[in-house]
Structure 1
Amino acid sequence: MTDRLTRKPIAIAADHRGVALKARLTAWLETEGYAVKDCGTGSAAERVDAMDYAVALVTEIKQGRSDFAVGICGSGQMMAIAANRFPFIRATLLHTVEEAASARQHGDANLLALGADTLDGTTAEQMLRLFLTTPALGDRYAERRERLARLDPSAL
């Protein structure tokens, strides 16, 4: 296995549609030796809003308790959209395993958004493995990330 990029717990959360995939990925993370911070929800029985769980993940990163987070909802869209409202978050919504390396290398993504309705568990595990073991590239990609951090939406 490639070197890990963090020793901190991986924060993970899901809405009601992502509970089963969250349980599978939590078990996979623990089997791989990662600590896990479960930020909810624990039940698929009651409808909840993915946005609330995206904010819980963002909080874990903001407070320095986690370097990486995984957010799961039906499509993954709301997890990514809500998380990306915060300037220190670089959430990525992936559809293929190959995208995981690019998201980390080029964008230094720190929150992986997944669609429980669109991914099978094996593919999600493969994405997560690459996401947690692929370092960000330097050079022009580092410059791009620095520019991204300086974007000022209030200037528009």
Structure 2
Amino acid sequence: MTTTTPPDAAQPLFRPTTLDAVNAMAKGTAMEALGIAFTEIGPDYLRATMPVDARTRQPYGLLHGGASVLLAETLGSMSGMLCIREDEICVGIEINANHLRGAREGIVTGTARPLHVGGRTQVWEIRIEDERGRMVCISRLTLAVMPRP
């Protein structure tokens, strides 16, 4: 599947799903342990929230960079999964993140949008913002698309 970004409105980027179905996949995973919840599926984006609390803070009381990266990879990987056929899987092969601002409390919101959705690779940009809309982290995730084992 090759898609331009933003996708043609006549051809949806994601296969049909619901927030309940996407959130159900988080049961028993790191996503559930960190309180990540998918909140919105748009025509070319997926959004989720994560609390800034004892589960996600580092010793200085700030949102742990690793927690931000986990949120970013969760969003990008789930977005990628919603773009592939049932007989395929996608796995992360590279992620980078720039931590731009600290967060000490509240909720951060991540939004994944495609940069490239191809038959063998996908690249997603994930922006994480605090409750005031200030960017906390910007990340880019590259996924490999492979046949389901």
TM-score category of the 2 structures, normalised to the smaller one: under 0.3
Q: TM-score, normalised by structure 1?
A: 0.27
Q: TM-score, normalised by structure 2?
A: 0.27
- Which has more strand, going by share of residues? 2
